[in-house]
Homo-oligomer: A and B are copies of this chain.
């Protein structure tokens, strides 16, 4: 089963393209392709209409570990949406390479790996253990844009 088919089988909903708040202009791309290299900008969790999720705050504080896991999973869906918009399909992704998982932490909260598992588990579910395998860091940030609990940037490889 291809990743595009797997998205359907798992009933995953990819959100609409990212809708930033008004008055925030940014000159960069959510996905930057060069040859077979695909760089993914830092993404946060989105609602299905592409607006930024209202679940904000610090994991270990206002946001529980379970909510953080879910935010990481939704961040993954936002990234898959951006990839599909840019590439047309997820099926020509040949390898996930690097995942940098950033958790907006309450002071003293160090269980960042189980939070970012929400992202890794999604990627393995959709791409399988060979293509979906990746290197990863899962670390605690002082603050993230919009007060998001999780932000993830990544790099993947495509066939050209």
Binding site for B on A (CB under 8 A): 24-32, 34, 37, 39-42, 95-100, 102, 105, 107-114, 117, 120-121, 124, 129, 133-147, 151, 153, 155, 157
A-B contact pairs, 17 of them (CB 8 A): A25-B117, A26-B117, A29-B133, A29-B134, A29-B135, A32-B98, A34-B157, A39-B134, A39-B155, A42-B139, A102-B137, A112-B145, A113-B145, A139-B143, A139-B144, A139-B145, A141-B142
Tell whether A109 pairs with B32 under 8 Å between CB atoms, given A120-B26, A135-B41.
no
Q: A34-B95, A40-B135, A42-B137 are in contact. List 9 more A-B contacts (CB 8 A).
A: A28-B120, A29-B133, A32-B98, A32-B133, A107-B142, A109-B143, A112-B145, A137-B151, A140-B141
Task: Give the docked Cα–Cα distance between A134 and B31 (Å).
Answer: 8
Contact of A145 among B110, B124, B145 (CB under 8 A): B110
CA A129 to CA B29, docked complex, whole Å: 10
Give Cα A111 to B20, complex, Å.
13
Q: Is the CB of A97 within 8 A of B32?
A: yes
A112 CA to B95 CA in the complex, in Å? 30
Given contacts A37-B97, A151-B139, contact A28 B157 (CB under 8 A): no
Are A135's CB and B28's CB within 8 A? yes
Question: Contact at B32–A134, with CB atoms within 8 Å?
Answer: yes
Distance between A75 CB and nearest chain B CB, rounded to angstroms = 12
Tell me whether A110 and B32 are in contact (CB under 8 A): no
How far apart are A57's CB and chain B's nearest CB, in angstroms? 11
Chain B residues contacting A25 (CB-CB under 8 Å) are: 117
